[in-house]
Structure 1
Amino acid sequence: MTKTKTKTDGWPRRAAALLGMAAVALQLAAGAMTASAQAAWPSKPIRWVVPYTPGGGTDQSSRIIAEKLSVALGQPIVIDNRPGGNTVIGAAAAASAAPDGYTVFFAALSTMAVIPNLYDKLPYASDALTPVTQLVHFPLFLMVEAGGPLDTMPKFLAAARSQPLLFAIGGSGSGGHLGSELMKRQLKADMTAVPFKAMVQAAPEVATGRVSFMFADLPAALPHVQGGRAKIIATAGKTRSALYPEAPTLAEAGVGEIDFDTWAGLAVPKGTPQPIVDRLALELNKVIADPAVRAKLALIGVEPAPSSQARFTEFIASENAKWRAVIQAAGIKLE
C-alpha cells in the first residue's frame, strides 16, 4: 500500500534547518554586537582600581596617568582606592569585574610577583589579571642616618660584615623588604627586619639611628635627607637614577651584582577583548611619553617605564621567579 504524503511529512527536517539558520543568525548578531561594543569603547566612565590608600606614590602616579589617559579616550576615569590585605583586596575587586574594558587595575610588583609567592591561597586565580603594559618604576635608595656610623658605603659594608644590623621595612613583602633580604643574602650578613605599616613611618626611625638602614623611595627619604637627618648612600636600581644621580648603584658601591626596584603597570580582568587591551597599551605609552606627565612623575620620585604587553608579561614572569627564590630563602610566609 502506497503511503500518501501529507503537508507535515517534511517538517522535522525543515524545522531543524530553520533552527540551524536561527542559531547562525543569533551568533552573527551577537558577534556584530560585540564588535560594535568594542569599536565604541569607551562609551562610559572607566574604573581604575588602585590597591593602596590615597596620597602615596602609587596613588599619585595613577592619578597623573589616568588624568591624561582620560583626555585621550574621551571618557572620565574614576580612581577607586581599595587598600588592604597586601593589595589582595584591590586585586580581587578588579579580577572579579566584568572583562569589558571598564575596569582596569594598577598592577604593581607586590600584586603581580610577590603576593603569589607569599600566600598559599588567594581569592582569585593566578591568571585572573591580564597584563597590558608597564608604566612606571619607583627607584629605591639605601638610606642611613646622616653623620652616623654607616653614612658611607665603605662604613656600611664593613659594619654589615662584622655586626648585626636592623633594617626598616614599610610592610612585609614590600620591595624594600625583599630587596633588603636580597642584599642580606648577597653579603651573608646578620640583618633583621623591623616592620612598619608604611615607608613614611619607617623613615624617621632610620633618620634618628634607632634602625640601621632602609630602602626607601624618594617621597619617604627626601624630607629627612633635605633636613640633614638622613643620607642616601646608594640606589638599588641597575643604573643610577636620573632623579638622584649622585647615588651610586649597589654594584658600583661594592655590594655585588644585585639590583631591584618597585614598579607598576596596568592590568585588566582576564577575558577583556584584545582590541581594547591593544588600545589601552597604545594610549598609555603615548601618555608616558608626554613631557608634562614625565615632569609630574619626577616631582613624586617616579620614573616612566614604557613597555608593551609582551615585554610586560615576560618581565612579570622573570620578577616572579626572582622574588620567589628570595622569599623561599628568607622563609617569608603570610596567611
Structure 2
Amino acid sequence: MDCAISVSELTKKLGDVPALNGVDLEVRKGGIHGLLGSNGSGKTTIIRTLTGLVRADSGTAQVFGHDVWHESVDARRLLTYVPAEVTLWPRLTGGEAIAALGRLRGGTDGDRQRKLIERFGLDPTRRGRTYSPGDRRKIALIAAFAADTELLLFDEPTTGLDPLTEAVFAECIAEHAARGRTTLITSDSPADIQRSCTSVTLIRDGRTVTAGLVSELKQFSRTTITATTHIGPTPIGNAPGVHNLRRTDAPNTVVFDVDADQIDPVMTTLTGLGIVSISAAAPTLADVFLRGSADDEVTAPAIPGATR
C-alpha cells in the first residue's frame, strides 16, 4: 500500500506508565488523517515517536518507508512537526521567528510565507513575548505550511484558535492534500476531526480501537430517532438493533438509538404502529468516539489508508 505512515504493534512505557500498548496506525499518501482519543490515550507519544523524539520499546514505525529511529535523518527531512504547546524566542518578532523556523528547514518561499501571514491575520512585527497562545500557534502553523514538506504532523493544532482561524487552517491542509502531501492531526475533539479529516484512527489506552474513512465510520454508529405513533410504541423496545429506548411526556412518543443496519426493519415496525410524526438525527463522529470510549465494539470494513 502507498503509505506515508506505517506503525505496527508499537509499545512504549513512560517510566512505569504504559503509554502505548501495541498501537497500529496507517496513513496513506496524500491523506488528511485524524488521530482521535481522550487525554492520555497516547496520541502525543505516537507523534513524538514518528519525529524520533521518543524511542519505542517495541514495534515498528516508518515514515515513507524510513524507520523513524534507524533512518531518522531521512524520515525527519520529509516531515514538519507542530507540537501542542508552542514556545517562541521572546525577543524575536513573529516575522523573524517564522523566518528562523524556515531556515531550520533550509529556507522557505518568501512570497508564500507573506501570503500565509495575511491569511492567518498575524501581525508579524510584535515581539514573541507579547503574543497570546493563539497567536503563537498561528506562527507555528504559518512556518509549517510555508515549509511545504511531504508530511505535516499537528498535535492539537486548533487549541486556542478562533473559528475564523480554524477555517483558514482547514483550507490550508486541504490545499496541502491537493498537492499530494500528507497530514496527520491529533485531537480529543470529534468535531475537529470530522471537520478537517477524511480518515481517522480512534485510540484508547494506547491501543487502536478502530480506523477508517470518517464517512464510513459514521455509518457504523447509531441514528437517534424520535417517533410518535397511533398505537403504543412498546414493540419498538423489542426490535433488533434498538438501544436506549426512552419515553417522553408526549403520548405514544419515544426516543431511541438504532444501529445503521437495522433502520429499515425498525421503520417497518413503526409503520405498523401508525406513524404520527418522526424525526432522525444523523450519526456523527462524536457518536463513534463515545461508543469507543465506553468499550463498545466499533467495527468497520477494511478501508484503504487506515487499518485497525
Structure-1-length-normalised TM-score: 0.23
* Higher relative strand content: 2
* Higher relative helix content: 1
